Chain A
Amino acid sequence: MDLSFLLLQLLTGLAYASTLFLLSVGLSLIFGAMGIVNFAHGSFYMLGAYLLFAFTRGQAEGFWAGLFLVLAAGLVVGALVERLLIRPIYPRPEEYQILLTYALLLILEDLVRLAFGAGYRSFPLPPLFSSPLFLLGAPFPSYYLFLLALAGLSALGLWAFLYRTRLGTWVRAATQDREMLEALGVNVPLLYTAIFALGIALAALGGAALVPLQAATPGMAVDAVINAFIVVVIGGLGSVWGALLGAVLIGLLQAFGILLLPEMAMVFPFALMALVLLLRPWGLLGRPPAVRT
């Protein structure tokens, strides 16, 4: 195999990984800090895709402003959902979270269908990235470079936030001991709202960033949430770096796997997930559950 092709395949795998990372990192963050299993995560990703349409009226020129508006809208919607729907059920058993977020998934799908119709909505590539690049002679969509950069910057930003800011220290502390954090005078309910809003905003941003390459449909939420769960189960539920690792592994496995076994493409992510569950049920970078005494 020639070098240019291997490079091309590597980049397409990483570009796919970028999309998976944006989709799943919020799910992992929310679970890690708050213990919420958010089945509606893919719905906010879908919402981001549709909001980009609404904000830009489908015009490629409005893309960049649209991305910022989607990010802002994601923060607002995330904060509202946490405050109004999630907060009342913290004291309840975990089944309530699952039922509530699943109901949210169904409701959002119907709302989107009412507002935008059942068909597919496609969005043109933004003018800056509308023509392919040539890598050692092979054409490659320049938009993938933007996706790579967006995922890279998001990962870097999250790292800086979690490890270099006071707020980030609190978020990490919240995963360890909520009561102690409250005793130290931190407003934990407000912190939870902020974490949830951030996780949702990242998903919405991911959905909006993907529309120029894909298409928005009301059913995309279910596919997205399945992909997100595969990624975080492989990487470790609750671990931000696990989401990154899981996304990259799936992206590369897909890109190179189909060269060797094109017949098996569909099985790769599930096979990897099964393998990880057998060897390390808490995920590659997750923490094994503490033994309760």
Chain B
Amino acid sequence: MKAWRWILAFGLLAGLVLAQGQQPIKIGALFILSGNFAGYGKSGSQGAQLAVEEINARGGVLGRPLQLLVVDDQGNPEVGVREARRLVLQEKVDFLFGIDSSSVALAVAPLTDEYKIPLVVTHAATPTLTEQCRPYVFRTSNNARMDAWAAAALAATLPVKRWANIGPDYEFGRVSWQDFIARLRQLRPDVEVVSEQWPRFGSTDYASFITALMRARPEGVFSTLWAGDMVIFARQAKAFGFFNQVRYFVNPVGAALEVLAPLGKETPEGLLVSARYWFLYPNAERNRAFVEAYRKRFGEYPSYNAQEAYAGMQMLALAIQKARSTQAEAIRKAFEADGGLVYEAPEGRKRMRPEDHQVFESLVWGYTKHSPEYPFAILERMRIVPASDTVYPTQCKR
């Protein structure tokens, strides 16, 4: 009798463990899937999807498949928080993932403490997010400050003294310009600022801003216009002959494929741009294989947002593997251990700083140039800014 009971109990337990083994690890991803920025959310969710499919094809993590649930946060903090709560409470996800907008990321971040759910951010770039030192928030892409510092490092090498700015009038635009010009003044004390223009984010008419900029006769213009703003600005500025007058136009997100593809052959040549990842760099087996797989799966080239989401998902899988658990504290330790988790992404090595959970990586810049092989402008005369040039101190302690 007793033995029978033991066998039953053991069988039940084994069944439970086996069932547990089959149960998917659920990852709730938030991206912008509607409105003007839906193109970014689409590439982000595609990148994450490709990573999940590759991971599951080799047997998942800890013997469990990954399951991706993508929701639309509309770039709206309230919607983002509501959807994140729903993912945690109703869908019982183990992780939160993605997020395009900085304001959504900042709004969702407190939920990670509330529910002990790790959040892996792959796009939102405000430095504030990782400066908050939250234990369960991890950013697997570089942030806007690193972009601005890399831009300053390159700008310091240009024969330019008269600088001007045009950027969208919200945190990202303002903070990037402050970081850029402060860093540039350290490297080149002789630079002067001749004009600052702040159009509304999502403006459709830049004419007055363009003429005001041109009147100030800057030699170099730093711009953080992105998405549709950059598309519209570039077209209107070209009509004014802006790019003939301004010798150096420096834009840290100007090489997003979400911008270059719709501009097509209309992209002016010779803009100094970056985009956190460029699909033709590095020309190495790892990157070529990724681009090939992405094209095969979705019929387009991977944008930076696609690659960052792909790499973020792979880093998360690595952390789960290392933690041998999906529990938040174990994941935190796995990301922080041994001087920070390292991942060889298609774009190169990503290393997470254990203190503030910010990834550092080298950044790729280049000048726009048309080529017969692609329907959009590509980068030539590449400039690689090493990760070490963008490391800023952190207040976080671990």
Contact = CB atoms under 8 A, between A and B. Distances in A.
Interface of A: 5, 8-9, 12-13, 15-16, 19, 109, 113, 117-122, 124-125, 132, 138-141, 143-144, 210, 213-215, 217-220, 222-224, 254-255, 258-259, 262-263, 265-266
Contact of B212 (A124, A262, A263, A266): A262
Interface in B183-239: 195-200, 202, 204-205, 207-212, 215, 227-228, 231-232, 235-236, 239
B211 A120 contact: no
Contacts of A15: 207
B94 interface: no
Interface in B21-35: 33-35
Nearest to A121: B262
A220 B35 CA distance: 8
A156 B264 CA distance: 37
A124 B36 CA distance: 20
25 contacts: A5-B211, A9-B212, A12-B211, A109-B34, A113-B34, A113-B38, A117-B39, A118-B41, A119-B42, A119-B261, A120-B39, A121-B262, A122-B235, A122-B263, A141-B236, A213-B236, A215-B232, A217-B36, A218-B38, A219-B228, A220-B36, A223-B204, A258-B208, A259-B212, A263-B198
B266 interface: yes
Contact of B197 (A16, A125, A223, A265): A265
A109 B36 CA distance: 11
Contacts of B42: 118-119
**Chain B, interface SS category:** helix
Nearest to A215: B231
Contact of B266 (A9, A124, A219): A124
Given A120-B228, A215-B231, A262-B198, A12 B239 contact: no
B241 interface: yes
B228 A215 contact: yes
B169 interface: yes
B195 A262 contact: yes
Contacts of B227: 120
Which of A5, A8, A109, A214 has its CB near the most chain B CB atoms (within 10 A)?
A: A214
A258 B206 CA distance: 11
B10 interface: no
